[in-house]
């Protein structure tokens, strides 16, 4: 039976969509501020006029004034009408102005830009076979992804996730061999290499451009001598006897995650550990109808699912596969001891052993 139109609910819904539209329209402005260094200047200076910001960044005052006004309307900056100055309050600074903050979000907007740029490819994929491979995507996806995930790895990987694994930190401190599959720009690999100077690290990814960036990152951070980055798929990466194999936010992107997990099992030392960091999700759709699920299902439609469908097998787990489905993949590959070792609002950390 069709329910009658409820005017009040309609108004509430339209208001909410208006808010979403405003957010979507503001996203390119955030990219502009990021590229032109506006947030850095605003974070470092006190209340600023459009003229001052334009002067300090070598940009056009009239454009800067409009950008600042849009930010004030969005609540992304504060505005003082008496002085005509714009400023970042401490909370806004945590999100836009401090790259070391655990809630720094400028990288996420780079991913938003990437999915808008690549949208025609994904539309085409809907009509064909669902496939839109990672290699076909625009560059801002790769750098955005590294920045987006890097925030979380910086805040949790060494401090919480590795210590949550059984006996792994002790091995890393003594000197262990570690592989990071689907390593992207190698942010996770470099963080671990920096924290554990006696260990050696190998990063593998099938995207050539990302491997080149990973090498640069490791060299920049002074761990180039203990890290090796190679182009390899998750199913055929070289090496064996690893104490730890990691896969950060990539297992669900693989066409054949079962095949990859089988290769991991083969590459692990007898008492080795597989750590799979995956997006946090419940097992059923209805468990994920929340802001995090919203973000991840959208990302999964635009990135994870078509990327997996572009590869052999094309299992397409999706970015919200949920722990039960992920455990089934690992069991099918031959892992017997599987548990969730840690959780954050955005991730689960799965520990899998023989």
Binding site residues, ligand SAM, CB under 6 A: 134, 145-146, 149, 182-185, 187-188, 205-207, 210, 233-234, 248-250, 253-254, 311
At 153, list the tokens: 């790895």
Nearest in space to 50 (alpha carbons), one of 15, 24, 86, 78 = 86
In the complex, least distance from residue 18 CB atom to ligand SAM, rounded to whole angstroms? 31
Q: Which is nearer to ligand SAM, 288 or 347 (CB)?
A: 347
Q: Which is nearer to ligand SAM, 83 or 159 (CB)?
A: 159
Nearest in space to 226 (alpha carbons), one of 292, 177, 299 = 177
Q: Nearest residue by C-beta to ligand SAM? A: 184
Q: Which is nearer to ligand SAM, 33 or 279 (CB)?
A: 279
In the complex, least distance from residue 221 CB atom to ligand SAM, rounded to whole angstroms? 15
Residues 6+ apart with CB under 8 A from 14: none
Q: Which is nearer to ligand SAM, 29 or 132 (CB)?
A: 132
Q: What's the rounded Cα separation, in Å, for the pair 181 and 206?
A: 9
Backbone φ and ψ of 203, nearest 5°: -110, 130
In the complex, least distance from residue 176 CB atom to ligand SAM, rounded to whole angstroms? 19
Q: Which is nearer to ligand SAM, 48 or 233 (CB)?
A: 233
Q: What's the rounded Cα separation, in Å, for the pair 277 and 349?
A: 5
In the complex, least distance from residue 76 CB atom to ligand SAM, rounded to whole angstroms? 25
Nearest in space to 251 (alpha carbons), one of 175, 338, 137 = 338
Inter-helix orientation angle 208-220/187-195, to 10°: 30
In the complex, least distance from residue 204 CB atom to ligand SAM, rounded to whole angstroms? 6
């Amino acid at each position: 039976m069709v329910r009658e139109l409820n005017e009040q609910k309609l108004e509430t819904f339209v208001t909410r969509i208006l808010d979403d539209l405003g957010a979507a329209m503001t996203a390119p402005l955030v990219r502009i501020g990021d590229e032109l260094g506006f947030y850095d200047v605003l974070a470092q200076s006190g209340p600023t006029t459009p003229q001052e910001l334009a002067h300090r960044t070598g940009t056009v005052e009239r454009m800067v004034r409009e950008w600042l006004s849009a930010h004030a309307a969005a609540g992304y900056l504060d505005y003082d009408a008496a002085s005509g100055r714009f400023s970042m309050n401490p909370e806004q600074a945590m999100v836009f102005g401090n790259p070391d903050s655990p809630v720094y979000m400028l990288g996420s907007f780079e991913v938003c830009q990437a999915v808008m740029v690549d949208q025609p490819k994904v539309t085409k994929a809907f009509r064909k076979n669902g496939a839109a491979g990672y290699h076909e995507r625009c560059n801002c996806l790769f750098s955005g992804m590294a920045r987006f995930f890097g925030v979380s790895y910086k805040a949790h990987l060494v401090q919480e996730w590795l210590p949550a694994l059984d006996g792994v930190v002790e091995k890393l401190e003594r000197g262990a061999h570690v592989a990071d599959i689907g390593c992207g720009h190698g942010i996770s690999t470099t963080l671990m290499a920096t924290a554990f100077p006696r260990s050696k690290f190998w990063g593998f990814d099938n995207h050539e451009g990302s491997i080149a960036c990973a090498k640069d990152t490791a060299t920049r951070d002074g761990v180039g001598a203990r890290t090796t980055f190679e182009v390899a798929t998750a199913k055929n990466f070289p090496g064996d006897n690893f104490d730890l194999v990691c896969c950060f936010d990539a297992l669900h992107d693989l066409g054949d995650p079962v095949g990859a997990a089988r290769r991991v099992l083969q590459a692990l030392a007898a008492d080795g550990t597989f750590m799979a960091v995956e997006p946090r999700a419940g097992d059923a759709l209805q468990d994920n109808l929340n802001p995090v699920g919203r973000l991840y299902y959208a990302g999964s439609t635009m990135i994870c699912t078509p990327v997996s469908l572009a590869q052999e097998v094309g299992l397409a787990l999706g970015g919200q596969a949920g722990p039960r489905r992920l455990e089934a993949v690992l069991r099918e590959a031959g892992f017997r001891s599987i548990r969730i070792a840690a959780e954050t609002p955005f991730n689960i950390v799965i520990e899998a052993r023989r």
